[in-house]
């Protein structure tokens, strides 16, 4: 695809941002300013803090806090700044005024994971963020993660009040890491350093790894750092896009083992040779581009994983329709093509069968 792709892929194999905003013209009541103003001053006096900014939002009913840290701040100073910033959640504010977003900022990295049951837990998580930043990533974003509710979620059985029953929605931790991409060994060293840091843990959450330009992204539905084998899988899938142009993007998502599909890949790639394609010609035209071999490699790689997978390809807008989209699913020998594009689906299924035969003679052959 571009230099970033082989660098990230090689690195993964070797180891085998939010913001505060304010409503224009909003201001806090004088009684609230007196309370939070003292907090702002006390935070600015902390070692390692360069600035603390309080922002009024939502017509003065909400106050947010952003703490900017100095470049040479120590992990201990980060912990103290987090603990002091957390006071915004606990101090007594005037009626009608509520705490809003709280974050710590260090360069391009942001920490906003304050929904924790104890200050000790907050200190541990803030320290972890500081160590992740020091590991060499371009940026590290740690924030509160809210687990999506399943469509069949039941109301809280302990709810006995007269008001509406609320669903149980556990909160956890999201970790987003932008990796360096200038040198594969440097990126691998960054990931290895991250793996060596003691994680205080989280009950639920996700990890995302992304290239600086956002073109390559690997998402893991895991509260802890993904296993090395899952990161190696990302590398093998990302390598399928090495030959594509700079407009292509690839997003990989790996769910928990009991989720469907376990593996999903979204490839978005455009080619000038497809600009005149129609619904009648697109299947033949696509085969002649560099996009199709990448799609074949993605499906073949996933078929080898013996797990549920889903692959989608989004490409040029057709002359007589919207953007071309192909969606296929499978697990090992099982394959379900896209009814809208039978010729492409049949070719992909043949690839899956051929791959299985190479691994195990007689595989994928009906009895």
Which CATH number goes with the domain that contains 77?
Answer: 3.30.70
Task: Please tell me the predicted confidence (pLDDT) of residue 212.
Answer: 84
Q: Which of 83, 107, 131 is the last residue of a domain?
A: 107
| Domain-located, residue 170 | no
| Domain-located, residue 47 | yes
pTM: 0.83
Measure the CA angle with vertex 3, ends 209 and 134; round to 5°: 40
Both structure tokens of 64:
């947010």
Both structure tokens of 29:
């009541």
Tell me how many domains the chain contains.
Answer: 2
- Tell me: the pLDDT tens digits for 179-232? 887 667 888 888 899 999 999 999 999 999 998 888 889 999 999 999 888 888
| Domain-located, residue 112 | no
The residues that bridge with 106 in the sheet, in sequence order, are 109
Tell the burial category of 78 from Cβ atoms under 10 Å away from its Cβ (0-12, 13-18, 19+).
buried
Q: Which of 77, 107, 137 is the last residue of a domain?
A: 107
**What is the rounded average pLDDT for all residues in the chain?**
84
Cα separation, 248 vs 271, whole angstroms: 9
Range of the domain at 266: 255-367
pLDDT tier, 167 (very low <50, low <70, confident <90, very high otherwise): very low
- Tell me: the pLDDT tens digits for 120-129? 999 999 999 9
Check if the beta carbon of residue 252 is closer than 8 Å to that of residue 226.
no
Both structure tokens of 154:
């039941």
Mean pLDDT of 45-68: 89
Q: Which of 107, 122, 144 is the last residue of a domain?
A: 107
- Tell me: the pLDDT tens digits for 289-326? 999 999 999 998 888 877 899 999 999 999 999 999 99
pLDDT over threshold 90, residue 241: no
Q: What is the DSSP letter of 155?
A: B
| Domain-located, residue 245 | no
pLDDT tier, 93 (very low <50, low <70, confident <90, very high otherwise): confident
């Amino acid at each position: 695809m571009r230099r970033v792709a082989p660098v990230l892929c090689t690195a993964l194999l070797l180891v085998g941002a939010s913001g505060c905003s304010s409503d224009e013209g909003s201001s806090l009541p004088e009684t609230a300013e007196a309370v939070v103003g003292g907090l702002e001053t006390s935070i600015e006096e902390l070692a390692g803090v360069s600035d603390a900014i309080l922002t009024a939002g939502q017509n003065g009913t909400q106050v947010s806090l952003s703490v900017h840290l100095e470049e040479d701040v120590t992990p201990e100073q980060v912990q103290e700044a987090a603990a002091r910033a957390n006071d915004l959640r606990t101090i007594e504010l005037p009626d009608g005024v509520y705490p809003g977003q709280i974050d710590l900022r260090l360069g391009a990295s942001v920490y906003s994971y304050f929904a924790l049951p104890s200050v000790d837990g907050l200190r541990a998580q803030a320290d972890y963020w500081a160590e992740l930043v020091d590991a060499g990533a371009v940026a590290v974003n740690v924030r509160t993660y809210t687990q999506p509710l399943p469509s069949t979620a039941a109301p809280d059985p302990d709810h006995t009040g007269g008001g509406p029953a609320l669903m149980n929605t556990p909160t956890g931790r999201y970790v987003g890491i932008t990796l360096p991409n200038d040198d594969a060994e440097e990126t691998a060293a960054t990931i290895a350093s991250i793996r060596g840091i003691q994680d205080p843990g989280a009950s639920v959450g996700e990890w995302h790894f992304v290239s600086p330009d956002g073109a390559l992204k690997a998402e893991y539905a895991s509260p802890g750092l993904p296993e090395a084998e899952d990161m190696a899988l990302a590398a093998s899938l990302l390598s399928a896009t090495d030959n594509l142009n700079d407009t292509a993007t690839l997003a990989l998502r790996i769910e928990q083992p009991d989720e469907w599909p376990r593996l999903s890949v979204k490839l978005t790639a455009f080619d000038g040779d497809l600009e005149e394609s129609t619904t009648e010609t697109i299947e033949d035209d696509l085969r002649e581009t560099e996009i199709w071999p990448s799609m074949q490699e993605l499906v073949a790689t996933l078929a080898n994983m013996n797990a549920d997978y889903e692959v989608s390809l989004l490409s040029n807008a057709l002359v007589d329709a919207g953007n071309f989209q192909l969606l296929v699913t499978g697990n090992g020998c099982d394959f379900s093509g896209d009814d809208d594009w039978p010729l492409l689906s049949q070719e992909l299924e043949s690839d899956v069968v051929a791959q299985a035969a190479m691994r195990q003679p007689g595989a994928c052959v009906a009895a």
